[in-house]
Amino acid sequence: MEDFIRRLPKVELHLHIEGSMEPELMFELAQRNNVSLPYASVEEARNAYHFQDLQSFLDIYYQGADVLITERDFFDLTWAYLMRCKADNVIHTEIFFDPQTHTARGIAFDTVINGIYHALKQGEKELGITSQLIMCFLRHLSEEAAFETLEQAKPHLNRIVGVGLDSSELGNPPEKFARVFAEALSLGLKTVAHAGEEGPAQNIRDAISLLHVSRVDHGVQCVQDDELVSELALSRMPLTVCPLSNIKLRVFDSMTDHNIIRLLDRGLCVTINSDDPAFFGGYMTDNFLALYHAMAPTRSQFAQFTRNAIEAAFVSPEAKQAMMQKLDDFTVVNHLH
């Protein structure tokens, strides 16, 4: 089964590129850019990657981002992640980036997006991994700051498929960004939002009705509202669930408590993702394996996670068809019906 999981074609829809910063790369970039870190060694930094809750994680996350200064830094960060994708058999990825984390430090928007975008294009050419880029607004910042960021993105709309909403959910409900999302939609962008991770099920309803999202990021608190669960199953509204992240941030006490399999069995379009893999204990294969060891889902359930992710991906029907074909070829060879 572990071998099957490793070889299974995967599609990732919930990945913060800044959250894939491994301590080794952080030290390498710090040296390159003469940035001083509060850690004496890679090991000490790795130990600091243990935190209590979302806020203490975010503090470390923003500190790590300080070493990203040049286009080359953003390229190297993205390339390192793509190499992980290659190892994990991820055939398509849709990654989030947080421009405000960098523009607040005086890094130009263009520097950020150029580095990431060029790595993604090279990944497609050299590794055969297709990708899309989603720009997130930091929800703890103001609506005005989000509008400014959307303005900066306008010259790059051909490189961005959508906008998202991340950072601290509590105290920053979806309605705070309804007008920014309306403008993003008018520009032809897709919308997604983190909702129902540490916040209530109502945030999921509001993200759908006020932000008109095509996908809900996390969404595991939907179980607080049984009617909502039924609606999500009926509409096939995708939930980009992040199992290891949910355990690390205490959304669930242990993997055996996680509700992703129950949601899958109720017919929801749930998908498996790694969120901030450098901080949360693993990339895509690690998340699949963690679920396997805790709950022993079947091969067809694991394949369904990929099927759901392909269905939810922001790509053309032809591209979806090609990915489905890869998955079908794999399942036939592995006698899975």
Catalytic residues: 197
Distance in angstroms between the alpha carbons of the first and the last residue of the chain: 16
Q: Residues 271, 308: contact at Cβ < 8 Å?
A: yes
Burial class (CB in 10 A: 0-12, 13-18, 19+), 254: exposed
Rounded CA-CA distance 171/160 in Å is: 28
Cα radius of gyration rounded to whole Å, the chain = 19
Rounded to 5 degrees, what are φ and ψ at 176? -60, -25
Helix crossing, 299-312 with 284-295: angle to 10°? Answer: 140
Handedness of CA 217, 223, 227, 229 (dihedral sign): positive
Copy the structure tokens of residue 46.
């790795």
Residues with Cβ within 8 Å of 224's Cβ and at least 6 positions away in sequence, in order, are 200, 201
